[in-house]
Structure 1
Amino acid sequence: MKSILKHTTLALALLAALPSCEVDRLPETSISDQTFWQSENDLKSAANYLYTFLPGWSGDDVWSDDAFGLASNGISDGSRLAPATDGNYNNNYALIRAANNILEKAPRALAATSQTIVDRYSAEARFFRAWGYFNLVQRYGDVPLILKTLDDSSPELQAPASPRTQVVDQIYQDLDFAASKLPTPTALGTADFGRISNTAALAFKARVALFEGTRAKFHSYGEPNKHLKIAADAAKAVIDSKQHDLFTGAYFDLFQMAGEGRQNRENILVRQYGVSQTDRVATHAYYRGTLENGNMNPTKSLADSYLMKDGLPITKSPLYKAPVQSIDVFKDRDTRMGDTFMKRGDPMMTTKPIFDIANLVFNKTGFMFRKTANIDDWNTQASTIDRPVLRYAEVLLIFAEATYELNGSISDADLDLTINRLRQRGGVAKLTNAFATANGLTMRDELRRERRVELAQEGFRYWDLIRWKTAEIELPKPVLGNFYFKSEFTGATVNLTPDNYIMVQAASFRKFDPNKDYLWPLPINEIALNQSLKQNPGW
């Protein structure tokens, strides 16, 4: 568990001296000292620093129609302005510079170690460089492509942004190198669980390619089929590797300590926190500080997307009955809904051991998220539950979607290989082409629905709306919450729709400008520093 961060103190001393902003303008630091880069341990120490950039648990779903916090969100409702600085920009360039530094200096260790070892840690660095660039191109589109460390006299400091096609191609090159040089999960074993594997590189390549392929398709640019084929091929390579499988336990336990470690083959890459309060590398307070406190709450839109167990949506299924009490919302539904949403009878927190109904003072939608909910963690505010960063379920979803978007169809065999394995653990009837036709369902919509519910609360929804070009349709809609059960909800005054659902934010307060909002604004300070860097349209 602690092997990744065993030598991080040294790495941080050498690498973290790099400020998070203006990273491409920094002079060399003490990491260039010739006493470093002399052994495999030095390479591992330097690479360990890169892992600190893996995302932890966050409230990013409030950017989308899946969640709402204690107050409106500027990304979700279209009210934000171009910022002076942006950590999403600066921190990713800090990661890229640290990765470039390793790639330049790792060969110095050849005097004491092998090319295989140098290649392995260079592959980790290239994975993280790809990670940083994908975060950037996802948000900003064209960005400066910097593949070496710079100093104050480097001409690249005044270079214009590189086209997104060039950046994405570089991401693929880095991930191909990583996939060819990194060990398999089996070779990493328990001792090195948490380090980047070859399947992590392939799974991430599939994620990048699906994003770029569908974005190019629905925004009408570039070569969508090129990227969709890359996505399908990379996802299939992970499937065919037989290195991973779905978690054999309950879906809820995927996000508890029961889902930790090498024994859970669904985990391809996680952000590690530890195994106990006494054996930990870091902690988080995500459950108490984000979920229970109301900083991210599920919406009616997300709740309505969960199927009935007969495989039909609530608008079509004869099983669906209008709820009379709050627990009725979960009756005969995909069981993943009850694993993702708090429901009556669930363990909750020290001061309220059993959940009954959401507190509308905090949980503005009348719903509360449940993934990672743990009474002990609420009490200590020091959880060590790992954050899944790449998991096998996402790979299955990528293969299904890429296959459909590439061919305009998907076979029942491929549905069984992917979507139906996920539906099975939710207790939902199989999806077939005949079932979809007979019930007036659209296959694309059902594939997207499956992705939404399987990956709910994990930060995917906003980016899916962006790549599908549906943000302009979904985000301006009003934000609605749970049905208002008058006998259960107490202690708060709320606005209601005519049909008695909680009105959290009216459509009149929400907007999405398709001419500008599909890209994020570049930080104003970065444009001031580099006159060749142009602001994104509309900002």
Structure 2
Amino acid sequence: MKNIKLAIVGFLLAAGFSSCDEFIEKQPIDQLSQATFFADEATTRTAIIGAYRSMTTSASYGQAFIVIPEFAAGNMAHISSFPEYVEFQNFNIRIDNPWTLNIWTASYNTINAVNNIIAFAPRIAGFSNNTALQNLVREARFIRALSYFNLVRSWGDVPLILEPTTQQTTSADLRVSRNAASDVYAAIIADLTQALDLPLNASGTAKGRANGMAARALLAKVQLYAGNFAQAAQLAEEVLANGAYGLVENFATIWTTENSSESLFELQFDQQTPNTFVTNANPLSRQEFFARGAAEDVFEATDLRRSFTVRRALDVAGNEQFYVGKYRNFNPPTQNVPILRLGEVYLIHAEARAKADGNVSAGALASLNAIRQRAGISPVANPGSVDAFTREVQLEKRREMMFEFETWFDLTRTGLATEILGVPSQQRFVFPIPQLELDLNRNLVQNPGY
């Protein structure tokens, strides 16, 4: 594999990426200047591949962004009682926790990489008549929206940086303040609105790239978090009605086959881009991360998802352990990570439609029961109030999305984290701003309670 490094300092940290054999080597952009690097469609495609690759690192979806939300949700354990993990289970996170810094840094590295694409690709000659080049910019906007969505869910108010770091950027320019979460959501929605114009559907490994349906699914999710329930429901309905995607009959095949008919956007891993998490979370591997026994208790005994999601297996000493069952391709560690899939869209629709209508309509109930039916458990016949129905949807999401880094964010969004997980204060619904960032940037302020 040949490496292409995007050597641009982003938030005082270098953003790097690598490309596959089909791309030629380029010297670092800080030597060429960004404007020189973005010369044509080929160089822009190289840059977007690098941006996707930046999300596969162990500081992002390659480990940290799976592990940390699942520790906070009470679903995962580590082989040792390392404080850096236990702090998330105890909701008492230190401001110097390395994992919050890793996720923060990785997110802004990805954002800086796509900021360059969004800023410089439109300057390429013929851009206005080149649909393929325009779509690469739309993909960059999708990635930026996803990155900021993860940041705002994790920290609340965060710096909103929409321009790339260049040679002209000064240290003073980098010392920015936090923007209100509402402004961050507005920027996310603006980016995804443009990404809606991407080609609607994808199949096979092309699901590792943003497409129009993935953009609609992510925007539906964002609108749900933003409290725009009618918009969330409408977007979810567009995805569900598309016809190119469908719930798989056997829940396990979402992970055992990869890029299934249910997958809308799935981050691709291979032997050149290995998945660090699966190396550390399987029997006969390094066995660092385990499922907690309490995770199994969330499921009904007859739930078909139960034994696959929380996998019982013998460790190397012959003792039974609970393992994370959804990520099994560890030899070699090539397990993909589904980031958006149809099962979640059904549950987004169920909640959003009920809240938008002010009652539990037949459509909202049907979306919830579609997921329960596949799981082999009884449908909900009498949903009760919208509040009671929302709680039922959240319980179903815990089962359906376990180990897919969503439970923690859903329970903090709905305020149920205190009741269900025992979070002592709503101030602990967000993570602390990393101390290193506060030291580097005096314009940042810490989240209350830390």
TM-score (norm 1): 0.71
Report how many residues are paired. 418
- In structure 2, relative to structure 1, the CA distance for the partners of 1:209 and 1:432 (3 Å cut) is same
Q: Which residue of 2 aligns with 1:216?
A: none
Unmatched runs of 5 consecutive residues or more in structure 1: 1-7, 214-226, 275-279, 308-329, 477-511
Q: Distance in 2 between matches of 1:25 and 1:122?
A: 18
- 1:176 maps onto 2:125 in alignment: no
Q: C-alpha offsets along residues 405-462 of structure 1, whole Å, 9 cap, x if unaligned?
A: 333422234322x2222122211222223xx46xxx9423221111111111212121
Q: Which residue of 2 aligns with 1:271?
A: 267
SS for the counterpart of 2:305 is helix
SS for the counterpart of 1:538 is coil
Q: Which residue of 1 aligns with 2:24?
A: none
Q: Distance in 2 between matches of 1:231 and 1:260?
A: 27
- 1:524 maps onto 2:435 in alignment: yes
- 1:396 maps onto 2:346 in alignment: yes
Q: Which residue of 2 aligns with 1:369?
A: 324
- 1:78 maps onto 2:78 in alignment: no
Counterpart AA for 1:22: L
Q: Which residue of 1 aligns with 2:380?
A: 431
Counterpart AA for 1:59: V
Q: Distance in 2 between matches of 1:244 and 1:522?
A: 39
Q: Point out the more displaced range, 122-131 or 155-164.
A: 155-164
Partner residue of 1:102 out of 111, 117, 120: 117
Q: Distance in 2 between matches of 1:35 and 1:161?
A: 32
Q: Which residue of 1 aligns with 2:303?
A: 334
Q: Which residue of 2 aligns with 1:32?
A: 33
Q: Distance in 1 between matches of 2:310 and 2:229?
A: 33
Q: Distance in 2 between matches of 1:530 and 1:114?
A: 42
Q: Which residue of 1 aligns with 2:255?
A: 255
CA displacement at 1:163 relative to structure 2: 1.0
Q: Distance in 1 between matches of 2:253 and 2:192?
A: 31
Q: Distance in 1 between matches of 2:180 and 2:395?
A: 32
TM-score (norm 2): 0.83
1:152-167 aligned at under 5 Å gives the runs 152-153=169-170, 156-167=173-184
Counterpart AA for 1:528: D
Identical-residue share of aligned pairs (%)? 27
Partner residue of 1:141 out of 137, 156, 167: 156
CA displacement at 1:475 relative to structure 2: 3.2
Q: Distance in 2 between matches of 1:338 and 1:87?
A: 32
Cα contact 1:266–1:391 (8 A) shared by 2:
yes
SS for the counterpart of 2:264 is strand
Cα contact 2:29–2:37 (8 A) shared by 1:
no
Cα contact 1:200–1:268 (8 A) shared by 2:
yes
SS for the counterpart of 2:428 is coil
SS for the counterpart of 1:398 is helix
1:70-469 aligned at under 5 Å gives the runs 70=79, 71=81, 73-83=86-96, 86-111=101-126, 114-150=129-165, 151-153=168-170, 156-180=173-197, 182-185=198-201, 188-190=202-204, 192-213=206-227, 227-248=228-249, 250-256=250-256, 259-261=257-259, 264-274=260-270, 280-284=271-275, 286-287=277-278, 289-292=280-283, 293=287, 295-300=289-294, 302-307=295-300, 330=301, 333-343=302-312, 359=320, 363=321, 367-373=322-328, 377=330, 380=331, 382-416=332-366, 418-433=367-382, 436=383, 442-469=388-415
Q: Give the root-mean-square deviation of aligned CA atoms.
A: 3.0
Unmatched runs of 5 consecutive residues or more in structure 2: 17-27, 56-60
SS for the counterpart of 2:338 is strand
SS for the counterpart of 1:130 is helix
CA displacement at 1:291 relative to structure 2: 4.0
Q: Which residue of 2 aligns with 1:22?
A: 12
Q: Distance in 1 between matches of 2:277 and 2:15?
A: 34
CA displacement at 1:88 relative to structure 2: 1.7
- In structure 2, relative to structure 1, the CA distance for the partners of 1:368 and 1:385 (3 Å cut) is closer
Counterpart AA for 2:77: F
Q: Distance in 1 between matches of 2:414 and 2:279?
A: 33
Cα contact 2:281–2:324 (8 A) shared by 1:
no
Structure number with larger C-alpha Rg? 1
Q: Distance in 1 between matches of 2:310 and 2:438?
A: 43
- In structure 2, relative to structure 1, the CA distance for the partners of 1:66 and 1:408 (3 Å cut) is farther
CA displacement at 1:172 relative to structure 2: 0.1
CA displacement at 1:90 relative to structure 2: 1.7
Q: Point out the more displaced range, 121-130 or 513-522.
A: 513-522
Cα contact 2:269–2:336 (8 A) shared by 1:
yes
